[in-house]
Amino acid sequence: MTIPYVARFVGGPLDGREEIWSRPIDEARPTITHVHLHDGPKIEHHYDLHHCDQFGWEYRLRES
């Protein structure tokens, strides 16, 4: 059985989602940009990678 490696998303439109890898990755992306396209203007949210002892890896919504 393979244990997945997980990073949770905290805040914004991706809150509660997870990014899962089947093996350790050499370099995690330090920032992820989520772009929301709709009839109005483009909305971008930026998530920065953090590690905390209680939950492990998290992509936290960057405060503007």
Whole-angstrom Cα Rg for the chain = 13
Separation CA 53–CA 35 (nearest Å): 29
Q: Per residue in 2-61, pLDDT tens?
A: 567 889 999 999 999 998 877 776 667 889 999 988 888 899 999 999 988 888 889 999
**What predicted TM-score, i.e. pTM, was given to this entire model?**
0.78
**Strands 43-52 vs 56-61: parallel, antiparallel or unpaired:** antiparallel
Tell me what pLDDT residue 1 has. Answer: 52
If 0-12 CB within 10 Å is exposed, 13-18 middle and 19+ buried, where does residue 12 land? middle
For residue 2, what pLDDT is reported? Answer: 57
- For the chain, the first-to-last Cα distance in angstroms comes to 41
* Confidence (pLDDT) at 46: 97
